[in-house]
Every structure is written in C-alpha cells, then in structure tokens.
Amino acid sequence: MTDHPPFTALVADLPATVPFVGPEALERQWGRPVQARLGANESRFGPSPRVIDALCSAAPDVWRYPDPENFDLRRALANRLGVDMGNIAVGEGIDGLMALAVRLFIAAGDRVVTSLGAYPTLNYHVAGFGGSIVAVPYSGVREDLEGLVAAAHRSGARMVYLANPDNPMGSCWPATEVAAFAAALPSDCLLLLDEAYGELAPPDALPPLDPDQQNVLRLRTFSKAFGLAGLRCGYAIGHPSVVGAFDRIRNHFGVNRQAQVAALAALDDAEHLDWVVRSIRAACDRISSIASAAGLEALPTATNFVAIDCQRDAAFAQRILAEMARDGIFIRKPMAPGLDRYIRISAAPDDELDILAAALPLAVQRAQDAP
C-alpha cells in the first residue's frame, strides 16, 4: 500500500532508471575527483570565447523568462542552413527533442526500430510513452541499414532511429547510403536521423537538407563541437507540418535564456569551430596511437571519440574499464553483444591524454593479470 495516489499503469510498470552513469556519480562512489573525464563525449576544448563573453553580458538578465519562440536562434539557424524558420524547432538538447518526437508519433503498443546498442535515451523515451523497441544487431561495427529497413517493414514500425555518425562506434555512412536508406523505409514511418556529430563528419556524410521531405526528422546539437553540453540546446530540422507540431506539446520555456544566448554566440564564431574540429581530430589520432601502444586496436572515427577493440571478450574490456576507474579515469564502453569487447574514449586536450597514455598500458596489463 502507498499513501499517494496511484501512478498510471504505464508508469507503475517502468523501472526507475537513469540511462547514463555520470562522472559525478563515479566521483561520489570513488570518494575522489575524476582525473581525466574521457567518457561523456563532451567537447573538452570548450566553447568559443565569444560564448563566455555573451554569457557574462547576459547574466544580469537571468531574472527574465527566455523567448518561448526561440526566435533569434531559429532565424540564425535557418540562415545558416538555407531553410525557412518553419523548418527549425529548438529543444533541450537532442534528448529533449527525442522525447518530443516520440510523444508526437508513438502511442502505446507502437514499435520503434533501432540498433541493438545504439543511443539508449531513445529507448528510455519509447518505453516512457508505451512503445516497444525492435532492436537490430550491428553488422560488424556499423549499423545494419538493410536489417533496419527489413525490421521496419516486418514490424510495421512507426519510427526508425539512425545515428550518423554513430555512437558508440564512431562509424559513418555516406550521404548517398543514408538517402537510399530513408527512401527504402515505409512511407508512414518516420526516420529519426541523429546528426549530433555532424560538424565532425566527413564532407560526404550528411545528405542535403530537403525541407519538403515529410518522413525524415534530423536532430543536431550544440553539445559536441560547439562545447555547450551543460546548457542543453539542440534543434530539429524537418518539414513544417512535423516541426510545427512540436508547439503542441513542448515545454515553451524549456530552452533557457542563457542557452539561447550561448548558441547564438557559438554560431557566430566559425574560426573557433574550425579550431575545435582540428583539435578533436588530432586528439583522436593520439588516442589511437595510445591504444596501439597498449596492444589494443582503435577504429576509424567520424566523431569526437574513439572506439577501441580490446581484442578479447566483454569481461576483459570491463576489467580494463575498472582498472582505469581505479586511476580516476572516466571512460565508457558499449554493453550490447558484439560491441561489448570495445571501450570508448573521448577526445580531450593533451594534459588529459597524457594521463591516459600513462594509465592505459598499466590498466591493460592488470586486466590481463587478473584471475
């Protein structure tokens, strides 16, 4: 018996869970600070100095509500992308936009197709609205486009999720393959195309924007290359009939004033963005070299992290993760079968990669010596 009114039947059956264990939770568990924060795929190279200046200037106005229409930011994004403002919706990062997309299209019992081991927050939102996941295993280290299409047709899915570039493996499909994939889906099935790492992708990875395409919703973010993960700001690009429907259900004050100010300033500093992209690529190259020196094999990446094959089983990869944690180094690993022998390390400045270079060979050795 409980003293409060009963939850809905749907919520009563859901587990209380957080899709990610954050480094802050690990610090509380370890009783000491993280020495190298290499697991969350943030931009450790930080935001543009213009962002910092804009935030400082805007700080006295935090008493004011944010613009509920996100007008200036939507206009700036539309100008940057060459689309109309009606093609842009702004939300609390890609996670918040995912929740809105699922709420718009997925009712109790509806199916959503995704890859087994892909970004877990989508699954969390699907469960929260009563939908069910149809999971397709990766084909090697890449999402299986043919398998996803087949599952969508077989299951009658209302939505298919694809991240390109992909998290957690860092792989990337060329734009031509993505366009063919979208065209092969059922006409009444929405493609939720996650392009969180788009600024870091090869030039041929992102399909041209088509504002008239009604069955594709593209999600992008300021959390990665722009360095604004802590402010939670992202945007969706799609047909006005889809994007406009967000106004029916979104939290209209959800994107705070500081996030809007910061995103506008970030868009205005192309030079800093170019520097960050170059720095991330150099850092990923160094991570690959560090992994190789430790006897592991790094995969090519189109993101701000490197997936590393530990070349044994999931238990061995988990031991490496635990040994790194002993040294105060926060990294993550995929958990899905077939991907669970990999670890994933985010790009960072040299001071943190120096810590990684010293710790990883010792962690691998200790993991090998463990009974």
Task: Please check whether residue 37 is in contact with residue 330, taking contact to mean a CB–CB distance below 8 angstroms.
Answer: yes
The C-alpha atoms of residue 152 and residue 181 are separated, in whole angstroms, by 11
Look over the chain and give the mean of its residue pLDDT values, rounded to a whole number: 95
Three-class DSSP category at 62:
coil
Residue showing tokens 């400082």: 56
Predicted pLDDT at 23: 83
Helices (H) and strands (E) in the chain, counts: 13, 12
Q: What is the pLDDT of residues 135-169, one digit of tens each?
A: 999 999 999 999 999 999 999 999 999 999 999 99
Task: Please check whether residue 95 is in contact with residue 117, taking contact to mean a CB–CB distance below 8 angstroms.
Answer: no
The C-alpha atoms of residue 42 and residue 168 are separated, in whole angstroms, by 13
Strands (E), 129-276: 132-136, 159-163, 190-194, 216-221, 234-237
The C-alpha atoms of residue 90 and residue 361 are separated, in whole angstroms, by 43
Q: Which residue has the higher pLDDT, 319 or 1?
A: 319
In sign, the C-alpha dihedral spanning 79, 84, 86, 87 is: negative
Residue 109 has pLDDT above 90, yes or no: yes
Predicted pLDDT at 312: 94
Tokens representing residue 244 in the block: 């406009």
- Using pLDDT thresholds of 50, 70 and 90, give the confidence band for residue 285: very high
Alpha-helical regions (H) of the chain: 9-12, 23-30, 49-58, 71-81, 93-105, 120-128, 145-155, 175-184, 240-243, 257-267, 270-293, 314-326, 350-369
Q: What is the pLDDT of residues 2-55, one digit of tens each?
A: 678 888 888 888 888 877 778 888 888 888 889 999 999 999 999 999 999 999
The C-alpha atoms of residue 92 and residue 67 are separated, in whole angstroms, by 14
Predicted pLDDT at 51: 98
- Using pLDDT thresholds of 50, 70 and 90, give the confidence band for residue 240: very high
Question: Above pLDDT 90, what percent of the chain?
Answer: 88
Mean pLDDT of the 341-365 span: 97
Beta strands 36-37 and 329-330 are: parallel
Please report the domains of the chain, with CATH numbers, ordered by start residue. 9-46+271-369 (3.90.1150.10), 49-268 (3.40.640.10)
The C-alpha atoms of residue 213 and residue 238 are separated, in whole angstroms, by 7
The C-alpha atoms of residue 344 and residue 39 are separated, in whole angstroms, by 7
How would you class 18 by CB atoms within 10 Å of its CB: exposed for 0-12, middle for 13-18, buried for 19 or more?
exposed
Q: What is the pLDDT of residues 52-89, one digit of tens each?
A: 999 999 999 999 999 999 999 999 999 999 999 999 99
45-70 b/e (C-beta count within 10 Å ≥ 16 → b):
bebbebbeebbeebeeeeeeebbeeb
The C-alpha atoms of residue 246 and residue 249 are separated, in whole angstroms, by 6
Q: What is the pLDDT of residues 172-187, one digit of tens each?
A: 999 999 999 999 999 9
Tokens representing residue 39 in the block: 């697991």
